[in-house]
Amino acid sequence: MTTAAARLDLRLNPADKARITRAADLRGVPLSAFVRDAVLREADNVIANPPRLDGHSLAARLRGRATTRMSTDDIMKLTRSA
């Protein structure tokens, strides 16, 4: 058995936590193990199938529209319309 070397904190609303806790209970595993396994599976999936950068990514859609002099609020408005 290995010991944890790092910690990850996560904020959830109560309904999401209850949903995840129920799923962990149904699997019969501790909540932390359930979350860790689910996150690692998703990480492996993203690494194996990286997002395309062919103009469909947010960064590609904002290219030429956002500037370094824009406020965070202005950039957020662009992301909603992109």
What does the pLDDT look like over 59-71, one tens digit per residue? Answer: 666 777 767 777 7
Q: Predicted confidence band at 73 (pLDDT cuts at 50, 70, 90)? A: confident
In Å, what is the CA distance from 8 to each residue of 4, 38, 57, 69, 73?
10, 14, 27, 33, 28
Which pLDDT score, from 0 to 100, does residue 76 have? 75
At residue 44 the predicted structure's pLDDT band, cuts being 50, 70 and 90, is: very high
Question: How confident is the model over 2-24, as pLDDT tens digits?
Answer: 676 888 898 999 999 999 999 99
Q: Please choose, from the candidates 15, 65, 6, 8, the residue with its C-alpha nearest in 3D space to the C-alpha of residue 79.
A: 65
Contact 68, 52 (CB under 8 A): no
Tokens representing residue 4 in the block: 């944890």
- pTM for this predicted structure: 0.59
**DSSP-derived secondary structure letter, 22:** H
Closest CA to 32 of 17, 47, 45: 17
